[in-house]
Structure 1
Amino acid sequence: MIYYVCNCIYEESYMSLQYAILGLLDSFGTMSGYDIKQRFTESVNNIWEADLSQIYRTLDRLESNELVNSIPDPSSSRGRKIYTITEQGIADLREWVQQDLILETVRNPALLQIFFARHTPPERFRQQILDYRQKFTEIGTHYEQIESMLTELIECGWEDGFYQHLTLLLGKKYVQMTIEWCDEVLEQFEKHITGDEDNG
């Protein structure tokens, strides 16, 4: 019998995006929507993804709720806005970060593919795992670069850098665990294939 673990959804995804944007505005100051997207790519994207359209929709909602203010960007001729977090936005952010930590909702398409991999030819399956391992090796290298940058910022007294580094520690451990898991999958797969051949 197969048992499934049900992950409870504790927050709508837009709520987490809302606080990610508030946090970035609090940490880095006034920014345009495009600037916020760039900050996502450089930092928060490692733990929470968002495209530009999602960011702008969320900024509109935040402004309606008076959690951010916007003014026209004087350097732009295209009607671009720049956003600043309000005192109420800071208060909401502080209240949110002090709540109990939220359990993640797991959606892993790679594991879903492997779950039904009986339909995958052995050579293809082997290559899929090797490619997956390589991707995580590259992610690990990227995390090392981020860690080096954060270390310099922390040494310069940037308080946010310390807490951002704590999230990076989990990312690094997850990468290492996934690489080790890939190695174990390949080892067990080879034994499984060999056993099938011997029994055939």
Structure 2
Amino acid sequence: MSLRHAVLGLIAELDGASGYDLLKMFEISLANVWPATQSQVYGELGKLADAGLIDAAVEGPRGRKEYAITDAGRAELHRWLVEAEPKKPMRDETLLRVFLLGSATPQEAQEYMRAETDRLDGALDDLAALDGKVDWDDDDLSRYGRLVIEYGRRSLAMRRDWFEWARAEMRSFDEPAR
């Protein structure tokens, strides 16, 4: 997913939004899928405006701009949603570390695996807390947002379960071969 399309999609779904509004939506809804910093969001807004994909529809106090998606922006969002093949994430630093754990002591390897399991438990707790904070509605962002929250739950639980399994497997590495 690109930041460009995340911003376009949020502006389309919110029927216009300021940079501040977008940052709050990223915090609440997209941080677990596609985090973005203030400078990234505001930089992308400038690029989208320069490309004619959004317009500053309303300017408010202290230079606050509310952006609206243009017809060209809707066309680009639609093209990306239905035509562009999603890029598959190729890198996973956590699993790279697991692959190279043979360079650590067995105790350090076990501790790494335990810490990762604990981190995933914490992430699951954070996701449950976020789900409880969101005022879910019947709009599209809520409907599809709930699907993404459930994906997050299942994905994190699967990773946690795998780390527990792998940690148990690693204990057998020190046992003599029979």
Q: Mind listing any 5+ residue stretches in structure 2 that lack a counterpart?
A: none
One of 42, 48, 63 as aligned partner of 2:28: 42
| Matching residue of 1:105 | 89
Instruction: Supply the AA of the counterpart residue of 1:170.
Output: Y
Counterpart of 2:117 in structure 1: which amino acid? R
Which residue pairs with 1:169 in the alignment? Answer: 150
Match of 1:190 in 2: 171
Deviation at 1:61, TM superposition (A): 1.4
Return the alpha-carbon distance in structure 1 between the equivalents of residues 149 and 90 of structure 2: 19
- Letter paired with 2:149: L
Counterpart secondary structure, 2:157: helix
Q: Hey, what does 2:159 align to over in structure 1?
A: 178
Tell me if 1:130 matches 2:114.
yes
**Structure 1 portions without partners, runs of 5+:** 1-12
| SS of residue matched to 2:55 | strand
TM-score, length basis structure 2: 0.86
Letter in 1 for 2:16: T
> Does the Cα contact within 8 Å between 2:59 and 2:66 map onto a contact in 1?
yes
The aligned residue for residue 25 of structure 1 is: 11
* Residues 102-111 or 91-100, more deviating: 91-100
**1:89 and 2:70 aligned:** no
TM-score (norm 1): 0.77
Distance in 2, Cα, partners of 1:103 & 1:18: 14
User: Once superposed, what is the RMSD of the aligned Cα atoms?
Assistant: 2.3
User: Match of 2:101?
Assistant: 117
Structure 1 residue 169, shift from structure 2 partner? 2.3
AA matched with 2:53: L
For residues 50-95 of structure 1, what are the alpha-carbon distances to aligned partners after superposition, in whole Å with 9 as ceiling and x for unaligned? 222222222111101111112674222xx44332222322232123
> Judging changes above 3 Å, is the alpha-carbon distance between structure 1 residues 158 and 54 closer, same or farther for their aligned structure 2 residues?
same
How much identity, in percent, do the aligned residues show?
A: 23
Match of residue 54, structure 1, among 21, 27, 40 = 40
| Matched-pair contact (CA < 8 Å) for 2:13–2:140 | no
